[in-house]
């Protein structure tokens, strides 16, 4: 059965697909048996933006951009990684994170791949007053769209239970 794809998502895929990645040095990331090349650095991007750490978010955006992009969802996410790595401000990184928040749940469903509980949060976005979503490994996440020490407007909306077998 074919699912309907929204026009904004298609526009995002087009814009993201048209951006050209800049070659930068490879980033090494500590990997354990539960490491995922997109999901693991995504959580680190969220953490970096919670702490207003522009450079760290860029670094992990680059890590996401180097993941395999053998499906449409993975391609969109790797391109978003490029956009975070090339962003000129935390504001721009947060704008990309808003798009990440819409696509990363599709990646989890497509991959059936979480070994731990993942918490989905929402908040009203300071960019346009609409709701934004992000995922976290913490049951007490702060808001990556506001920055350091930001627990206002954080609402837990879903717990994605672990799937232990791939």
Res 76: pLDDT = 96
β-bridge mates for residue 131, sequence order: 124
Q: Among 21-30, 61-70, 72-81, name the one with the lowest average pLDDT.
A: 21-30
Cα pseudo-dihedral 31, 17, 143, 42, rounded to 10: -10
Dihedral class, residue 68 (left if φ above 0, else alpha if ψ from -120 to 50, else beta): beta
Tens of pLDDT along 81-107?
Answer: 999 999 999 999 999 999 999 999 999
CA atoms lying within 13 Å on the CB side of residue 52: 5
β-bridge mates for residue 136, sequence order: 119
Highest average pLDDT, of 16-20, 97-101, 150-154, comes from: 97-101
Give the length of the chain: 166
DSSP 42: H
Q: What is the pTM of this model?
A: 0.77
Sign of CA dihedral 138, 16, 132, 158: negative
1 or 133, which is more confident: 133
Question: Average model confidence (pLDDT) for the chain?
Answer: 80
């Amino acid at each position: 059965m074919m699912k309907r794809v929204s026009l904004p998502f298609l526009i995002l895929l087009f814009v993201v697909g048209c951006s050209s990645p800049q070659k930068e040095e490879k980033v090494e990331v500590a990997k354990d048996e539960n490491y995922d090349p997109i999901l693991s650095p995504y959580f680190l991007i969220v953490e970096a933006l919670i702490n207003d750490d522009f450079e760290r978010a860029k670094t992990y955006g680059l890590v996401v951009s180097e993941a395999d992009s053998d499906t449409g969802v993975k391609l969109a996410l790797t391109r978003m990684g490029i956009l975070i790595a090339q962003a000129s401000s935390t504001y721009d990184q947060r704008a990309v994170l808003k798009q990440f928040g819409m696509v990363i749940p599709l990646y989890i469903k497509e991959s059936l791949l979480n070994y731990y509980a993942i918490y989905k949060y929402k908040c009203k976005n300071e960019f346009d007053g609409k709701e934004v979503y992000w995922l976290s490994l913490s049951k007490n996440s702060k808001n990556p769209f506001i920055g350091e020490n930001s627990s206002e407007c954080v609402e837990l909306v879903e717990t994605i239970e672990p799937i232990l077998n791939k």
